[in-house]
Structures are given as structure tokens and as C-alpha cells.
């Protein structure tokens, strides 16, 4: 079929470090693309054989031995389809982030990534040397070049490939999700297409890997930068695109998800993959009657199914009746196992044990933290006994200002809404309730409270979330100073107080469970702050 070409975008969910398993998934996809889709080539994501990001596994010589063996397997399969597959490569003591084209029994082209991201969550210069050359190969008569992820965010590599005659670009990606990122990607790739008047096939990974979620969202643009085809977000699959006379034939464009739905689905995928890839039978969640744990419960059930989720309510004397009622109702609505364990007897035992040491000292935040730690210990006991992982329920606003108890409500293996600011927590809860009401309405309307002291409300310690969240976004995500934020119209005393809370609580975040990243800057690998820091300490206020 001269002038006609079918390429499959393999939007796969791979497992970091499982080179052999990933190679099997690659081969299986290639066979399907060949036999069921009659494709000429199949394009896999960046570093498909190791998964992304392999982090310091890339420093282990054995990883490269496993990759070499996997590449041999791909060659030995001698398929009638070109496999374009990402993998790390070692030569003369240097490592490269590489894409190879396997045709028949041989690697016929090999490209080393030129632009190595070393910002935000990325550490590629820790591992890789940069390539310097385009790799152009003939794909059924079409001169085709490879680029890898960051390469397409800068003008150079695509231009160099076009200058060597490339009429089609295949871009392999492991581009992690954050809200609205799809828009940047499509704009950037369209720009490269227009600059060089070449179509670009953009293939991205799907799945959760620790803090990161990869959203797929693979797509094809034509030489004018128009989207010709878009694969769905958050789903795996093989998506064929036909090119006629070098131009992509317009195909199905999966609709772009609204922000709330996209964040919700990113978290569901992140939780599912963390739990499943780490082999947990299920999760256990402490319910408080508040919105954070209610939303986390809904996410867990959507991710794992009700039979893999257990809810535990651990009331104290400060817990209001409506909290107990609402927690029970949440468990009922979602159909999960529900246990109630009052903590008063344990609390009394602790107070007794500490009585002598605390003689003459007055009640303070110690007793509040004690309650949270009893709950954390009870959850961990259930986790140890059943094998289920504790899913933490803290949100990003709390994480930022340290409004959480270390070893208390912070216990757990993974944080579903760790990167979700409180105002967005409400939006996600409303979104989820639109699909079927699972969070009782008054959980969405009552004032948030930790219920660790009589009549406590979050606003006793924090500004209202309508004020707190934008300050946090400016300080944490945009690196604005106190002066910048005040200049934007916020009260100076409030801003100073918030910034101090953020700075002083770095030590808590350092011991926090990982959680799904959904904003442009999450706490974790994305924000590397010193615990010991004098910045801002000298300032007044």
C-alpha cells in the first residue's frame, strides 16, 4: 500500500524495574498491533522497558543487563512490525535515555534524548548524558525521526531532524500529569509541527508510579499543528493512526476532561496502581465524619472496589454525634466494612502512664496529638493484622501549614488527596456526588474541625480556606515572597503567619507518606526544601 502507513500508539501501564514483565507487555502489544490492527509500526512510551522514572535503579549495572536481554527478546521475536521502544542504554561508562527501532531481528535505528529535564520531579542529568544527533530512518518510504519527551518542548531537536529530511516525528513520552497539563503539551507539540511542517505522533505512558500519575492522553498533530486524533486519558490501549501521503488521517478524538473529573480520575488511578503494584490486598481508612476522609473513602472504592476497602471510625469524647452518624452513613452508602473503636479507654491509659511525668504541667496540644496518635496506632494495627494499607486522608492545605499530627492522622502508606488544596477537595466531593451521592450533604456544608478539643474549628488555628489556599499557591507553587503576596492584596499579618507555618513544618512533610501529584508543584520530589533554614526567620512579625 504505497503512500499509506499505519502506526499504533501503545498507551501502556508499565511497572518500574520489572524489565522482563515490561518486555512481555511490549511484545504482546506489538503482536496485537501486527495481527489485529495490521499496523506497520508501534510506538511505545519513553523508557518503556524500565518504566518511568526508574530513579537510582539507573545506577545499578544489573538494570542494563536486563535491558539488553529484553532487547534481544524483542529482536528474537522477528515480528513484521517496527517496534519503537524506549530504554536506557550504557556505552563507554555513560548512560543515555534512548529510543530504538526494532525491525525484524535487528535494531535499525537508535536515538539518544538530547534535552534532559532536571527540574521539578525530574532528575535526568543525575543519570543520563545528552545525545547530540537526530536519528532519521525510513518507515515505508517516509523519512521518520525519533524524539523523546522534553526534546519536543524545545525547538532544536525537531528542527535538526527536519533538516536531515524527516517528514514525520515520533515522540516517546513519560509526561506526568498535573491539572491542565494536556493543554501545554498540545500547544507545544503543535508549535513544533508548524515550525517544521511535519506531523508528530505523541505517545505517553499511563499509570501511577509513587507520587506520579501518567495520564496517557496520546495524540497526533498534522503538519499544520491540528490535532488529528486523541487517545483517552487514564486508559490503556492501542490506538492506530493512518497516514496517507505523509499526512495523518483524522480519527477519533477522545474528549478533553473537565478539571475536576480529570483530577479525580488521576487520583483514582494513582491510588489503584500504588495499592496493586505494591501487592496490598486493600486499604483501611480512618473516617472522621469530615470531608477529607469522606472523599478519600469514595476514591478508594472507585479505585479498588468496596470489598477491598475498610472504614474505621474512632470517636473520642470530643467527637460530635453527627460526625459518627455521617461516617457510618458514608460507609453504608459505599458498602464497605465499617468498624467503630472508641478511643477513650486508650486515651485514659496514656494519661495514666504520663501522669507522673506531666505532674504540674497543663493540658495543651500534647493531648490533642495523643488522640490523633492513638487513632494512627489503631489503624496501623488493623493494617498489620490484615495486610491492608492505611490510606491517609490529609489534604494539601493541611500538609502545607502542618495542620496534621505526625504519627497520628499522617500515618499510612499513601495519601490520596495529599496534593489537593482544601477548596479543591470540596469541588471533587461535589463532582463525585454528581455521579451518585456517596458523601452526605451536610459533610460538605458544616465547618471543618479536627475535633481534638471542645468545640474546635479549623478557623481557630488557620485563616479561612478561601484565603489560605490562594496564599499557599502563591508561596508554594509560584515562589512568591511575603512582599509579593501582600502586594497582590492579602493581609500582611496573615501572609506572614501562613508562610511561617509552611516553613516550620517542613520536618513533618519530610516524614509524610507519598501521594498523588495533581498540581504543578507537589510536596515530595517536586519541592526539595531544607528542614533547617533561616530564610525569613530574621524578618519581623
Q: Which residues are catalytic?
A: 46, 113, 149
Nearest to 411 by CA among 384, 449, 438, 439: 384
- Taking CB under 8 A as the criterion, the residue among 166, 346, 425, 485 binding a second copy is 346
Q: Which residues pair with 111 in a beta bridge?
A: 99
Output the smallest distance, CB 486 to a second copy, in A: 13
Q: Per CB under 8 A, which region of 11-19, 97-105, 250-258, 447-455 contacts a second copy? A: 11-19
Nearest to 114 by CA among 88, 84, 152, 76: 152
- Taking CB under 8 A as the criterion, the residue among 34, 97, 209, 449 binding a second copy is 209
Residues 179-198 that bind a second copy (CB under 8 A): none
- Taking CB under 8 A as the criterion, the residue among 180, 191, 236, 377 binding a second copy is 377
CB atoms within 10 A of CB 198: 23
CB atoms within 10 A of CB 48: 29
Judged on CB neighbours under 10 Å (0-12, 13-18, 19+), 291 is buried
Output the smallest distance, CB 228 to a second copy, in A: 34
Compute the distance between CA of residue 12 and CA of residue 239 in angstroms, rounded to an integer. 11
Q: What x-and-dash track marks residues 347-366 binding a second copy by CB under 8 A? A: -xxx-xxx-xxx--x--xxx
Question: Residues near 72 by Cβ (< 8 Å), separated by ≥ 6?
Answer: none
Task: Give the nearer residue to a second copy in terms of CB position, either 369 or 494.
Answer: 369
- Taking CB under 8 A as the criterion, the residue among 328, 427, 500, 527 binding a second copy is 527
Task: Give the nearer residue to a second copy in terms of CB position, either 182 or 234.
Answer: 234
62 binds a second copy (CB under 8 A): yes
Residues 405-434 that bind a second copy (CB under 8 A): 406-407, 411, 413
Whether the Cβ atoms of residue 48 and residue 54 lie closer than 8 Å to each other: no
532 binds a second copy (CB under 8 A): yes
Q: Which three cell numbers stand for residue 52?
A: 518511568
Whether the Cβ atoms of residue 333 and residue 326 lie closer than 8 Å to each other: no
Report CA 140 to chain centroid distance, whole Å: 37
- Taking CB under 8 A as the criterion, the residue among 369, 456, 459, 494 binding a second copy is 369
Task: Give the nearer residue to a second copy in terms of CB position, either 439 or 522.
Answer: 522
487 binds a second copy (CB under 8 A): no
Residues 289-308 that bind a second copy (CB under 8 A): none
Q: Which three cell numbers stand for residue 73?
A: 527478546
Residues 77-136 that bind a second copy (CB under 8 A): 118-119, 123, 125-126
Whether the Cβ atoms of residue 396 and residue 419 lie closer than 8 Å to each other: yes
Cα Rg, the chain, nearest whole Å? 26
Q: Which residues pair with 365 in a beta bridge?
A: none
479 binds a second copy (CB under 8 A): yes
Task: Give the nearer residue to a second copy in terms of CB position, either 78 or 510.
Answer: 510
Task: Give the nearer residue to a second copy in terms of CB position, either 358 or 493.
Answer: 358
278 binds a second copy (CB under 8 A): yes
Compute the distance between CA of residue 268 and CA of residue 296 in angstroms, rounded to an integer. 10
Whether the Cβ atoms of residue 458 and residue 423 lie closer than 8 Å to each other: no
Compute the distance between CA of residue 235 and CA of residue 258 in angstroms, rounded to an integer. 16
Task: Give the nearer residue to a second copy in terms of CB position, either 34 or 405.
Answer: 405
Compute the distance between CA of residue 126 and CA of residue 114 in angstroms, rounded to an integer. 14
537 binds a second copy (CB under 8 A): yes
Output the smallest distance, CB 368 to a second copy, in A: 9
Q: Per CB under 8 A, which region of 70-78, 224-232, 382-390, 458-466 contacts a second copy? A: 382-390
Specify the 3-state DSSP secondary structure of 537.
Answer: coil
Specify the 3-state DSSP secondary structure of 31.
Answer: helix
Give the start-end residues of each E strand in 53-105.
Answer: 82-91, 94-103
The DSSP secondary-structure symbol of 231 reads P
- Taking CB under 8 A as the criterion, the residue among 6, 329, 373, 517 binding a second copy is 373
Output the smallest distance, CB 341 to a second copy, in A: 5
Task: Give the nearer residue to a second copy in terms of CB position, either 17 or 246.
Answer: 17
Going across the sheet that includes 414-415, the strands are 337-340, 309-313, 283-287, 389-392, 414-415
Q: Per CB under 8 A, which region of 239-247, 254-262, 375-383, 461-469 contacts a second copy? A: 375-383
Residues 389-408 that bind a second copy (CB under 8 A): 406-407
Output the smallest distance, CB 450 to a second copy, in A: 15
309-339 burial code (b ≥16 CB/10 A, e <16):
bbbbbbbbebbeeebbebbbbbbebbebebe
Compute the distance between CA of residue 231 and CA of residue 256 in angstroms, rounded to an integer. 10
176 binds a second copy (CB under 8 A): no
Task: Give the nearer residue to a second copy in terms of CB position, either 280 or 465.
Answer: 280
Compute the distance between CA of residue 175 and CA of residue 89 in angstroms, rounded to an integer. 20
Residues 497-526 that bind a second copy (CB under 8 A): 507, 510-514, 525
Output the smallest distance, CB 446 to a second copy, in A: 27
374 binds a second copy (CB under 8 A): yes
Q: What x-and-dash track marks residues 27-56 binding a second copy by CB under 8 A? A: ------------------------x-xxxx
Task: Give the nearer residue to a second copy in terms of CB position, either 197 or 535.
Answer: 535
How many residues of this chain interact with a second copy, rule: CB under 8 A? 88
Amino acid at each position: 500500500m504505497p503512500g499509506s502507513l499505519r502506526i499504533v500508539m501503545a498507551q501502556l501501564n508499565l511497572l518500574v524495574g520489572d524489565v522482563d514483565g515490561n518486555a512481555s507487555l511490549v511484545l504482546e502489544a506489538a503482536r496485537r498491533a501486527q495481527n489485529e490492527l495490521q499496523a506497520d509500526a508501534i510506538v511505545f512510551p519513553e523508557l518503556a522497558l524500565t518504566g518511568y522514572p526508574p530513579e537510582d535503579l539507573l545506577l545499578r549495572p544489573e538494570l542494563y543487563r536486563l535491558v539488553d536481554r529484553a532487547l534481544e527478546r524483542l529482536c528474537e521475536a522477528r515480528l513484521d512490525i517496527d517496534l519503537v521502544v524506549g530504554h536506557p542504554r550504557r556505552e563507554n561508562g555513560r548512560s543515555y535515555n534512548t529510543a530504538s527501532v526494532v525491525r525484524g531481528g535487528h535494531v535499525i535505528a537508535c536515538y539518544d534524548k538530547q534535552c534532559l529535564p532536571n527540574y521539578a520531579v525530574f532528575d535526568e542529568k543525575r543519570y543520563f548524558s545528552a545525545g547530540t544527533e537526530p536519528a532519521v530512518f525510513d518507515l515505508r518510504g517516509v523519512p521518520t525521526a525519533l524524539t523523546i519527551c522534553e526534546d519536543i518542548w524545545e525547538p532544536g531537536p525537531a528542527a535538526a531532524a527536519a533538516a536531515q529530511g524527516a517528514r514525520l516525528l515520533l515522540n516517546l513520552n513519560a509526561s506526568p500529569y498535573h491539572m491542565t497539563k494536556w493543554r501545554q503539551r498540545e500547544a507545544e507539540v503543535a508549535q513544533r509541527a508548524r515550525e517544521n511542517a511535519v506531523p508528530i505522533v505523541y505517545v505517553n505512558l499511563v499509570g501511577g508510579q509513587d507520587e506520579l500519575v501518567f495520564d496517557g492522553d496520546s495524540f497526533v498533530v498534522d503538519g499544520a499543528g491540528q490535532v488529528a486524533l486523541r487517545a483517552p486519558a487514564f486508559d490503556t490501549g492501542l490506538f492506530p493512526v493512518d497516514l496517507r501521503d505523509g499526512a495523518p488521517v483524522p480519527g477519533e478524538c477522545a474528549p478533553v476532561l473537565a478539571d475536576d473529573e480529570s483530577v479525580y480520575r488521576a487520583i483514582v488511578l494513582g491510588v489503584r496502581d500504588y495499592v496493586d503494584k505494591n501487592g496490598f490486598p486493600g486499604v483501611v481508612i480512618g473516617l472522621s465524619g469530615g470531608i477529607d476522609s469522606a472523599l478519600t473513602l469514595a476514591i478508594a472504592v472507585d479505585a479498588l472496589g468496596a470489598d477491598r476497602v475498610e472504614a474505621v471510625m474512632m470517636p473520642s469524647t470530643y467527637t460530635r454525634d453527627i460526625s459518627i452518624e455521617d461516617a457510618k452513613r458514608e460507609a453504608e452508602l459505599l458498602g464497605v466494612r465499617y468498624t467503630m473503636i472508641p478511643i477513650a479507654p486508650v486515651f485514659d491509659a496514656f494519661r495514666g502512664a504520663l501522669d507522673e511525668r506531666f505532674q504540674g504541667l497543663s493540658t495543651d496540644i500534647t493531648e490533642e496529638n495523643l488522640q490523633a496518635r492513638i487513632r494512627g496506632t489503631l489503624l496501623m494495627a488493623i493494617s498489620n493484622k490484615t495486610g491492608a494499607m492505611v490510606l491517609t486522608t490529609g489534604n494539601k492545605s493541611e500538609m502545607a501549614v502542618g495542620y496534621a499530627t505526625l504519627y497520628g492522622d499522617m500515618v499510612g502508606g499513601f495519601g490520596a488527596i495529599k496534593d489537593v488544596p482544601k477548596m479543591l477537595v470540596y469541588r471533587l466531593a461535589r463532582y463525585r456526588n454528581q455521579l451518585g451521592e456517596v458523601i452526605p450533604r451536610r459533610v460538605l456544608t458544616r465547618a471543618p474541625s479536627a475535633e481534638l478539643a471542645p468545640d474546635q474549628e479549623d478557623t481557630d488555628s488557620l485563616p479561612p480556606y478561601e484565603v489560605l489556599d490562594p496564599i499557599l499557591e502563591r508561596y508554594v507553587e509560584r515562589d512568591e515572597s511575603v512582599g509579593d503576596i501582600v502586594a497582590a492584596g492579602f493581609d500582611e499579618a496573615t501572609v506572614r503567619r501562613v508562610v511561617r507555618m509552611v516553613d516550620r513544618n517542613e520536618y513533618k512533610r519530610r516524614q509524610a507518606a507519598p501521594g498523588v501529584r495533581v498540581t504543578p508543584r507537589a510536596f515530595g520530589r517536586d519541592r526539595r526544601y531544607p528542614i533547617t533554614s533561616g530564610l525569613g526567620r530574621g524578618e519581623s512579625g
